[in-house]
Amino acid sequence: MTTTKTKWTKKDLLGLKDLSREEILLILDTAKGFCEISKRPIKKVPALRGRTVVNLFLEPSTRTRVSFELAEKRLSADNLTFSGTSSSSLAKGETLKDMARNIEAMNVDLIVMRHTSSGAPHRLARYLRPGIVNAGDGINEHPTQALLDMFTIREKKKKIEGLKVSFIGDILHSRVARSNIWGLTKLGAEVTVCGPKTLLPVDIESLGVRVTYDVDRAIEGADAITLLRIQLERQKESFFPSLREYMQTFGITRERLERAKRDVIIMHPGPINRGVELADDVADGEYSVILDQVTNGVAVRMAVLYLLSGARS
């Protein structure tokens, strides 16, 4: 495990595409320190006391939003959350830019933002003073998810460099896969992506990953496998014939896992479709680190908010 001496200098966390290897390691190392706080009876440090964080979730979210909200509270920040666009002034025809400028004018320190459009947080970050954390933008990036995935791999495997990491499922619509690819390749992992042809972006190999349509080849020798959520709501667009067929072709069962390394870890960003991308006994079995990911997510988000706030005393 490399401990870096880098200082954090960026105002925003928009994606792993923009981060150096050293910056990624700095976040992971900082998160390590925050892991311990959530295990104490008194899960709270004064690091962000009196700072204001606004969570702007213009696309529905539960787990990411809750994870950020807990991270903020455990750092003692004052926080506020907008969910959806209903009953908000955006419904009155206000532009996102005007809404964001209003939030800025209230002397907000950090904005955590999820948006259905790829690039929306990057656009805001250019003209707003507060630090922006991208909590998922369209099909582009979801950097804190990838950071918590990488943190979990490092905790379990004690390294990332040289590991074989596979992503199976809907790669096309997955900002999680995209952020992981940027991050893992920078840290020296070998990444394989696998899914139905219709759910693999045509240009994906240019990101430095291996592509396969054969799930057994994606599993073979893998140190870590991330299953991506099949978005049932997209199924009407017919990316694959049926859920039953998807499970048979790409779903992960205990039998299929015999080709992986003995100590393979199974990951999923959640929420899981049980019996679609993942069989119950794998989701709940000894290889699964899915709930560790959730636990680590709070620590990683505390680290990101802490570093962006410049609160390093």
Distance CA 262, CA 182 (A): 26
Candidate list 17, 82, 207, 220; residue touching a copy of itself; CB under 8 A? 82
> Is 298 a binder of a copy of itself (CB under 8 A)?
yes
Please state, in angstroms and rounded to a whole number, the distance separating the CA atoms of residues 24 and 163.
17
DSSP, residue by residue, 190-253:
EEEEE--GGGS-TTGGGGT-EEES-HHHHHTT-SEEEEPPP-GGGGGG-SSS-HHHHHHHH-B-
Q: Can residue 42 be called a binding residue for a copy of itself (CB under 8 A)?
A: yes
* Single residue of 87, 202, 206, 236 touching a copy of itself by CB under 8 A: 87
Q: Looking at beta carbons only, is 207 or 272 nearer to a copy of itself?
A: 272
CA dihedral sign of residues 228, 233, 236, 241: positive
- Which window, 74-82, 155-163, 206-214, 215-223, contacts a copy of itself (CB under 8 A)? 74-82
Binds a copy of itself (CB under 8 A): choice among 14, 31, 74, 163:
74
Q: Name which position in 119, 138, 221, 270 contacts a copy of itself (CB under 8 A).
A: 270
* Beta carbon nearer to a copy of itself, 73 or 256: 73
Report CA torsion sign: 57, 10, 294, 213.
positive
Structure tokens at 176: 């999680």
DSSP letter at 288 equals B
**Chain centre distance of CA 274:** 20
Using the minimum distance from each CB to a copy of itself, give the nearer residue, 39 or 236.
39
Q: Which stretch binds a copy of itself (CB under 8 A): 154-162, 190-198, 202-210, 295-303?
A: 295-303
Spatial contact of 72 and 53, defined as CB atoms under 8 Å apart: yes
| Exposed/middle/buried for residue 142 (C-beta within 10 Å: 0-12, 13-18, 19+) | buried
Q: Does 107 bind a copy of itself (CB under 8 A)?
A: yes
Choose which of 106, 208, 214, 244 interacts with a copy of itself (CB under 8 A).
Answer: 106
237 binds a copy of itself (CB under 8 A): no
Closest by CA to 180, choosing from 151, 208, 145, 153, is: 145
Query: Using CB under 8 A as the criterion, which residues of the chain lie in contact with a copy of itself when the complex forms?
Result: 38-44, 49-52, 54, 60, 62-63, 66-67, 69-70, 73-74, 78, 80, 82-84, 87-95, 98-99, 101-107, 232-233, 270-274, 291-292, 294-295, 297-298
